[in-house]
Structure 1
Amino acid sequence: MTGDTGTPADPAANRYVTTALDKPPDLRGADVTAVFAELFDTHARQLRGYLAGRVGESTADDLVAETFLVALRQRHSYDPERAPIKGWLYGIATNLVREHLRKESRGRRANLRAVGRPEPDHDAVVADRVDAERASRVLKQALAELRDEDRDVLLLTSWAGLTPAEVAEALGEPASTIRSRLHRVRTRLQALLTEESR
């Protein structure tokens, strides 16, 4: 492989870039503003894509900002020995999604009670949140029927592109549990898709 100038590309340069991105940041150092600016530049776009798929475009920007605000406040709890910072950030974001959905669900139930209408099924509400462009009718139904823990694992790996080790860090569970859960969920979804295509 050659670079733009026709000279052989330096594979060591690519390793350096990857290493630089994966290097644990110093969240306890003196220049926290610069560190968080770099973290935002590196992770905000992908994080927003993940959040938009979970809660919609209009809420995603607010949750991205809140993710970095919580990370700044809790920076002393980050342990670079456990996993890369990406998993830590997605863990914060996933907790914020859960809290957002709980608040939204409580508000919707309160509004429905106020006007005397019956409450919708919780699984149907969750299914409506899944981005219609990203999932077929079968996948929407399957996602709605998944337990919250299984849904989080699937979406963190599929939409956010996290590795099982990063998901384990994000959710505070052992990587072996995440791999097992991911395998079970994927097998179930594959069976549903195969059955639907018959």
Structure 2
Amino acid sequence: METDDDEDLLVRSARDPAAFEPLVERHAHALHGYLTRRAPAVADDLLAEVWLQAYTSRTTFDATRGTARTWLFGVTRNVLSAYWRRSAPERSGAVGGDGQAVSDPWQAVDERLDAAAVAPSIRRVLDQLPHAERELLLLVAWEQLTPTEAAAVIGIPAGTARSRLHRARARLREALEPAAALPRTGELA
């Protein structure tokens, strides 16, 4: 049996709401992971909001602008941004190197790093990256989107995304060079 592709399902769901269900099954895990890495305490609630918004706005999907997966990540990013704006008064007024309010919860990043000695360097570089560069890097590294898909999620041209991604990777690589000489956790010097 041939399976429908995501774009067909999304378009068809405008007239057949049941066609939306396979999209939830296919993409819930990836979208939940995206949210969990950025807002772990409220990821489940935000995912519910994502599906509600995606369902109610499914007729706005335009296949000429990208894939259904990219569109769903865009909806997810918008829901997360709205959450951060709503909860801004509850958070400290931290400001990043680009002068924008820091809204990404980087504390959870440490738990995912192999070597504890590298964590402060990575966190510092990520905190100092302009928001768009940081988001591109994370969409490509964590969410495994292509640079072109990540560009569509953020709403910038693919060429711009590739150059920003290159800069972000170079800054991260530069920060990690001194740490590469350190022994790995559990190794003797």
TM-score range, shorter chain: 0.7 to 0.9
Hey, what does 1:31 align to over in structure 2? 16
From the superposition, tell whether residues 125 and 28 of structure 1 become closer, same or farther in structure 2 (CA, over 3 Å). Answer: closer
> 1:31 offset after TM fit, Å?
1.1
Looking at structure 2, the residues matched to 29 and 102 of structure 1 have their Cα atoms a distance apart, in angstroms, of 30
Q: TM-score, normalised by structure 1?
A: 0.75
- Report if the CA contact (8 A) 1:71-1:92 is conserved: yes
Correspondence for 1:90 among 59, 73, 80: 73
Name the count of aligned residue pairs.
Answer: 170
Looking at structure 1, the residues matched to 173 and 37 of structure 2 have their Cα atoms a distance apart, in angstroms, of 21
Looking at structure 1, the residues matched to 130 and 20 of structure 2 have their Cα atoms a distance apart, in angstroms, of 33
1:170 aligns with 2:153: yes
1:54 aligns with 2:38: yes
1:191 aligns with 2:164: no
From the superposition, tell whether residues 50 and 126 of structure 1 become closer, same or farther in structure 2 (CA, over 3 Å). Answer: closer
> 1:131 offset after TM fit, Å?
2.9
- Report if the CA contact (8 A) 1:27-1:75 is conserved: no
Secondary structure of residue in 2 paired with 1:132: helix
For structure 2, the 5+ residue unaligned runs are: 97-101, 114-118, 182-189
For structure 1, the 5+ residue unaligned runs are: 1-12, 109-118
What code does the residue aligned with 1:65 have? A
The Cα offsets for residues 129-186 of structure 1, whole Å up to 9 and x where unpaired, read as 4432224222112111111111111111111111122112212211111111111101
Looking at structure 1, the residues matched to 106 and 31 of structure 2 have their Cα atoms a distance apart, in angstroms, of 21
Looking at structure 2, the residues matched to 75 and 22 of structure 1 have their Cα atoms a distance apart, in angstroms, of 12
Looking at structure 2, the residues matched to 195 and 67 of structure 1 have their Cα atoms a distance apart, in angstroms, of 40
Q: TM-score, normalised by structure 2?
A: 0.79
Correspondence for 2:129 among 146, 156, 174: 146
Hey, what does 1:122 align to over in structure 2? 95
User: Which structure has the greater CA radius of gyration?
Assistant: 1
Q: Which protein, 1 or 2, shows the higher relative CO under an 8 Å CA cutoff with sep ≥ 6?
A: 1
Looking at structure 2, the residues matched to 29 and 125 of structure 1 have their Cα atoms a distance apart, in angstroms, of 34
Looking at structure 2, the residues matched to 77 and 144 of structure 1 have their Cα atoms a distance apart, in angstroms, of 34
Looking at structure 1, the residues matched to 111 and 134 of structure 2 have their Cα atoms a distance apart, in angstroms, of 17
The Cα offsets for residues 65-92 of structure 1, whole Å up to 9 and x where unpaired, read as 1111111121121101221111111111
The Cα offsets for residues 19-50 of structure 1, whole Å up to 9 and x where unpaired, read as x4455422554212x22211110000011111
Looking at structure 2, the residues matched to 74 and 125 of structure 1 have their Cα atoms a distance apart, in angstroms, of 26
What code does the residue aligned with 1:81 have? T
Secondary structure of residue in 1 paired with 2:111: coil
Looking at structure 1, the residues matched to 77 and 14 of structure 2 have their Cα atoms a distance apart, in angstroms, of 26
Looking at structure 2, the residues matched to 130 and 143 of structure 1 have their Cα atoms a distance apart, in angstroms, of 13
From the superposition, tell whether residues 190 and 40 of structure 1 become closer, same or farther in structure 2 (CA, over 3 Å). Answer: same
> 1:102 offset after TM fit, Å?
2.5
Calculate percent identity across the aligned residue pairs: 34
What code does the residue aligned with 1:122 have? V
From the superposition, tell whether residues 35 and 22 of structure 1 become closer, same or farther in structure 2 (CA, over 3 Å). Answer: closer
From the superposition, tell whether residues 125 and 65 of structure 1 become closer, same or farther in structure 2 (CA, over 3 Å). Answer: closer
From the superposition, tell whether residues 167 and 43 of structure 1 become closer, same or farther in structure 2 (CA, over 3 Å). Answer: same
